[in-house]
Structure formats: C-alpha cells, structure tokens
Homo-oligomer: A and B are copies of this chain.
Amino acid sequence: MDKRAYNFNAGPAALPLAVLERAQQELVEYKGIGMSIMEISHRSKEYEALNTETQELLKELMGIPDGYQILFLQGGASSQFAMIPMNFLKPGRVGSYVHTGAWAEKAYKEAKLLGHEVHIAATSEAHDFMQIPELNEIEIHPDSAYLHITSNETIGGTQFQEYPNTGNVPLIADMSSDILCRPVDVSKFAMIYAGAQKNLGPSGVTIAIIREDLLQDLPKNIPTMLRYEIHSTNNSLYNTPPVYSVYMVNLVLKWIKENGGVEAMEQTNRAKAKLIYDAIDESKGFYIGCAAPASRSLMNLTFRLASEELEKSFIKQAEAAGFVGLKGHRSVGGLRASAYNAVPMEACEALANFMRDFQQKNS
C-alpha cells in the first residue's frame, strides 16, 4: 500500500504520522548517544529526563494542579481494576461504581472478586448501556471510599458529557479511551487512569494521575507491584519501566502541544465526529446510531445497518477502500469508527463520503 490506511481501530489505534516519523528517525540512535532509547538504563540521566518531561507535559496539557502524582504503570486498565479496591477499600468501606457498560462492569466485578463490597451507584442497563445515566440518578453509598466511573465506553460508544460532583467522596475515572480528547477539570477527580493505547501512545504503559491525599496510609501486604505507594515513592522507577512506551507517550504529548493542545484536539474531534454522526442522522434511517444522541462519544462512533448482511457488505467494501477497524466489538456487533486524536480529519471525511456513497448504492 502506498498510502496510509484510514485507521479507525478501537485500540491499539492510530498514532500521529509525525510521531511515527520522528520515532523512526531516532530509533537506532537517541539524541546522539550511540544507542537506541530501548538500550539505555532506566536509571540513566536520559531516561530520568524523559520520565520527568513526560510528567510535565501531561501536567501542562491537562492543567493538572499541584498535589497530584503522575505514575507510569504496566498491566493496562485491567490491572487498575484490581489495584483500586486493593489499595483504597479498607474494611468497612465500599466501592461505588456507575455501571455504563462492559468496561465499568469489569471494574466493579474485579472488586467483588477480590472480596470487597461494591455498590452500583447508577446503571444504564435498562437502556442496554446505550446512554450515560443522568448525573442526578447517581446514588453514592455513604461508606464509599470512592465513586468510580468509566468516562467513555468504547463498546457502546457512550461518553460522559459532564462529570458528577461527588463532594468529599473521591471521584475515580477510567479515561482509557477519551483522555486528552477534550479539556477536563482535573481538580474534580481524585484519580484518573488510562491505558495508553488509544489517545496516549502504543500499548504497554498505563498512566495514573492520583491526588496525593489518596496515597496516604495504604495497605502494605498486597503485591508490591500493585501498590500505588511503591510506584509513587519510586517515581515510577521501582522496577524497569516500559521505556519505549513512555517514550512514545512523550512524543504524542509533544504532538498534541504543537497542534494547539487539548482545546484544539476537542475542536477537531467535534468536527470529525460531526462528519460521521451527520452521515448517520441524515441517512433517513439507513444508518442507525447506537448511542443515545445526548450520550454520544466523540471517540467511538457506533452505528448499525438494517441487517447483519448489509453490515458485512459495508465492512468488506470499506476494507477494499482502505478503511481499517470498522467492525463493532465482537460482543455487540454492528459498526464502530474510533476517531481518536490521531485520526486525521481527512480519514473522517473519507468515511463520511464512503457512507453516503454506500447508502446511495444500497438504498
């Protein structure tokens, strides 16, 4: 293939071409040191500088106030599902969860599996998880150590448009699939975490942003690698970090900064999503949006056609036209376009045109 695919993968997902080209350029030799970034010690001054710079870039881009730690961890959001209750749920305390779909479910089920008490503060099960619960429906258990939300559900294609005010109860958000897609008031959150492989970089590193008061007085008799305190005290260098993944996150953050920051990302993301949602909404029912319009995600745009046969035909023709990753998640079927930060406007224009064209030929 001579040109770039129209990459709508749900994750791992598209990376900015400029970032890939920069990474390619310096893969064999990093900053004139005669070695690749993959070959240097994590105790070297070069890696320590990269570690710090990446934290600083994220602070700047997200407007993270003082009093938060930024950790680079391994094991994906799936590991956070265990670490959060293991670290924060002391005996007698409850984990409150908003149940918005498959990822929220994995989070609270892991807490239950480990013997913790879990409270479902709100659920959109009655709506088949195709909308986000109203904020005023959320009932936080009085003994809650935290309220956990999944800010964006990649499978259903729903996204919190506003975040709940939780008062003194720490708000914890899994932002794996929408971090940095729009500005967020970090001060409302006690903790934000995200696997890198959607908006931050390649897979292999998970970012956790944790308010320092949460890091006090945590249990010490859990697996060392699952202790936030250990990673915080060691500035994410307790053991060998996933150096190359952190390096790639660094490049992606610089790319966001050079391209106008998170505000500019939001503007572009809204324009990109509008192209696809318009193609759905103007199709007179040929395309059926899955998520309730008020809960629609900027990142994962889900829709269906009248029959599975037609959907298969759509995917087949789309693949032939250079589109990748449009198949919906295997648990729900249908179609899904994941338009993360790095997916260019041009790809969304091409998809909207393809959708209109396909409709015309199949109506």
Residues on A facing B (Cβ under 8 Å): 1, 3-5, 7, 9-15, 17, 20-21, 23-24, 27-29, 32-36, 38-43, 74-79, 81-82, 86, 110, 113-115, 195, 197, 201-205, 220-226, 238-245, 248, 322, 324-325, 330
Contacts and interface: CB of A to CB of B under 8 A. Distances in A.
Contact of A239 (B78, B86, B202, B223): B78
Question: What is the total number of copies of this protein in its complex?
Answer: 2
A39 B15 contact: yes
A202 B241 CA distance: 10
Contacts of A245: 204, 242, 244-245
A150 to B, nearest CB: 15
Contact of A36 (B15, B33, B43): B15
B41 A203 contact: no
A242 B15 contact: no
30 contacts: A1-B32, A7-B35, A9-B40, A11-B240, A12-B38, A12-B41, A27-B27, A35-B324, A38-B203, A39-B202, A74-B204, A74-B242, A75-B75, A75-B79, A75-B225, A76-B225, A81-B224, A82-B223, A82-B225, A82-B226, A86-B223, A113-B220, A114-B221, A197-B240, A203-B243, A203-B244, A204-B245, A223-B223, A242-B245, A245-B245
Nearest to A202: B38
A42 B32 CA distance: 33
Nearest to A24: B27
Residue from A17, A240, A244 with most neighbouring chain B CB atoms (10 Å) = A240
Nearest to A240: B203
A4 B236 CA distance: 29
Nearest to A226: B223
A330 to B, nearest CB: 8
Contacts of A42: 12, 203
A113 B227 CA distance: 13
A21 B38 CA distance: 13
A64 to B, nearest CB: 25
